[in-house]
Homo-oligomer: A and B are copies of this chain.
Amino acid sequence: MQRTPSFRNVSAAHKRIAGRVHETPLLSSATLSKLAGVEVSFKCENLQKSGSFKYRGALNAVLALPAAVRKLGVATHSSGNHGAALAAVAQRFNIPATLVVPNTASAFKQDNIRRYDGRIVHCGKTLKSREQKLAEVLADTGATYIPPYDHFDVIAGQGTCALEILNATAEVDEIWLPVGGGGLAAGTVLATSDPAMTHQDVQVVGVEPALAGEAQVALQTHRRQPPMPPISIADGLRAPLGHLNFKILDTYQLPVHLVSEQEIMDAQSLAMSCLKLVLEPSSAVPLAALLKYGRWCSASRSVVVILTGGNVQMRL
C-alpha cells in the first residue's frame, strides 16, 4: 500500500528544492484576458530547468534518496519531459541517469535527454518490452526507478509550483492545469489544501484533450480507466491517471474539461503570438479550455494557468 502525500509533504518539498529550481515568472497578456473574458495570468514552467515542471518532482525524488542509494544512479522509462528532467537532475548531482526509450522515439526527444548526458537504452514499442528493459537496467546498475507521476515524492515536488503561485500573489481564485498521469494535478490539489491557510478556497480545474479524456471518465465513475489510443498531439497527456494520483483527485472531486485537437493547436498558436513563449501542445490545453469556458467563471475571478512545458521543435 503506497503512502499518500499531504500538504505537509508539498511544503517540505518546497523547502528541500528551494534555490535549486527557477522561481518561474507569472506573466499576463491583456489580449488573452480579453479573449478569455476573465483575468488570466500564466505560471511559466516552460521556463523551468529542463523545460518543464517535471524538474520539480524529479529533483524532490532524487533529494529524498539516501546518499548511498542516490550514488548508484536513477532510471526511468519516459522519453518525454520526465526523462529530460531526471537526466538534468542527475547531471546536477553527478550521478548516472538511464532512460529506457522506445527505438521509435523522435530524434528531438532523444537529443533533449542527451543534452543532459542521460544514457539512453532502447526498448521495443510495447509496455512489456519497456518494463523488461527497465528491470534489467535496475538489476544491472542498482539505480533507483523514479516513475513519472505515480510516486509520493514526485507528486509532492510538482505541488511546489502551486505553492510558488500562492506565495507570489493573493490574486488567484482558480488554477487551471493539464491532466495526464495526474502528478501536477494531484500536487496542486495538495498545495491548495493547507489546513492553516485560506488557500483552501482556491479551486483547481483540470483539462484534458478529448482524445485522451480518460481522467474525466475516471473521476466521474470513481474508477481508474485504461489509457485511450495514444493519438492526441498533446503527447504529454496520453497516460492514464496513476493510482496515487487518482486517489487524491477523486477525493478532491477535480472538475475536468475536454478540448479538441483543433482547439489545442489554436491555443498554442495564440499563446505563442501573445505571450512570446514556446509551448508544447500539452501546455496549451488549459488555455484552450479557458478560451472556451472562461466566460463561465465569474468575472471577478482571477485564473492562473500553469504552462507546463516548452520542449517542442519549432520551425522558423
Contacts and interface: CB of A to CB of B under 8 A. Distances in A.
Interface of A: 22, 25, 27, 30-31, 46-47, 49, 51, 115, 265, 268-269, 272-273, 275-279, 310, 313-316
B310 A268 contact: no
A276 B275 CA distance: 11
B47 A269 contact: no
Contacts of A46: 276
A164 to B, nearest CB: 14
Contacts of A268: 316
A64 B313 CA distance: 44
23 contacts: A22-B27, A25-B25, A27-B47, A30-B49, A46-B276, A47-B275, A47-B276, A51-B276, A265-B316, A268-B316, A269-B314, A272-B278, A272-B314, A273-B278, A273-B313, A276-B277, A276-B279, A276-B310, A278-B278, A314-B314, A314-B315, A315-B315, A315-B316
A48 to B, nearest CB: 9
A275 B24 CA distance: 12
A310 B276 CA distance: 6
A115 B31 contact: yes
Given A25-B47, A314-B314, 8 more contacts: A27-B47, A31-B115, A47-B275, A268-B316, A273-B278, A273-B313, A276-B310, A277-B278
